[in-house]
Amino acid sequence: MLNRVVSQAFGTRYQVPYILQAETRRMNRQVCFLIGSALLLLPGCNSKPASTGQNPEGSTAALASQSKQEPDGDYFFLGLLSRLGVIVVCERSEGSQVMATMRSLATAIEQYYVDHNVYPAWSADAKINAFGPLGEDSEPNGRPTFRSDYGCGGPMSLTTPFSYIMSYDVDVFAPIRGATFNYWSTPSYKGDGFIIWSPGPDKDYDLTLENVEIYYDPRYEVPSPGLIERQYDPTNGARSGGDVFRTKQ
């Protein structure tokens, strides 16, 4: 019902899931940041307890000085490293989530292929693709993704008229909040194939419409050296360069 109301108001079925998913991802990152910050506030992170030994001089001023807590840099840096560790774990968790989402999306694409003997259509025009209003006059415009319009002789999509997926999943690494993954299917002379990709944690696309046509060809070895050079490798750091992608298996 909610999707139907939004469809009548905005002409799109996927805007509500986009907003909900994007806000959920944002809240998860904030929770991770708060957990790391809390580690710095734990007792003992910024100070150490005062000594309980007796003052040999019996000086009142010396006793008062000893009763104060003394700052300890070691405890502070331990808390700081713990905070950074939590953030890194969250980044890697998002990377794993992106790859899991891609696997589910690839399954839907293959089911579509079984029914229609062709992979879903794509478009770089935000007016007729799954970026929708998010892509018009902004960064995603000109990037390929799933074509979404149906009717007036247009091709069927993954969501209409039959739902292979309920909505296009949000790419948490997309530079525009709420945008879905990039998608491209090969022309017939190259055989049947497709590739889905995300910019990765650095939010900078290494794969573009221009070079993906060169580096992805299902007739030859996949992934090609060109794709491997532009692939995200988590062992290089949580925010290292490279894109996350999945091709026809």
Q: What is the mean pLDDT of residues 148-162?
A: 74
Model confidence band, residue 36 (pLDDT cutoffs 50, 70, 90) = low
Q: How far is CA 134 from the centre of its chain?
A: 16
pLDDT at 42 over 60: no
Structural domain span for residue 243:
2-247
Which residues is 129 bridged to in the sheet?
147
- Tell me the pLDDT tens digit for each residue of 43-98: 544 444 444 545 445 455 544 454 444 445 554 444 544 444 444 445 567 788 89
What is this structure's pTM?
0.66
Q: Give me the percent of the chain exceeding a pLDDT of 70.
A: 58
The mean per-residue pLDDT over the stretch 150-164 comes to: 76
Residues 156-168 have a mean pLDDT of 88
User: So what's the pLDDT on residue 121?
Assistant: 93
Q: What's the start-to-end Cα distance of the chain, in Å?
A: 36
Of 196, 202, 186, 198, the residue nearest 237 (C-alpha): 202
DSSP 95-156: HHHHHHHHHHHHHHHHHHHHHHSSPPPEES-TTTBTTGGGTTTSTTTTS-EEB---STTPPP
User: ∠179-180-182 over CA atoms, to 5°?
Assistant: 115
- Distance CA(244)–CA(228), nearest Å, equals 10
Instruction: Please count the structural domains in the chain.
Output: 1
- pLDDT range class, residue 19, cuts 50, 70, 90: very low
Q: What is the pLDDT of residue 101?
A: 94
Q: Which tops the pLDDT comparison, 131 or 32?
A: 131
Pairing of strands 244-247, 194-198: antiparallel
Instruction: Give me the count of residues in the chain.
Output: 249
Whether residue 245 has pLDDT greater than 80: yes
In DSSP terms, 247 is beta-bridged to 195
From residue 158, alpha-carbon distances to 121, 169, 183 in Å are: 9, 12, 12
Q: Mean pLDDT across the stretch 219-237?
A: 90
Please check whether residue 200 is in contact with residue 232, taking contact to mean a CB–CB distance below 8 angstroms.
yes
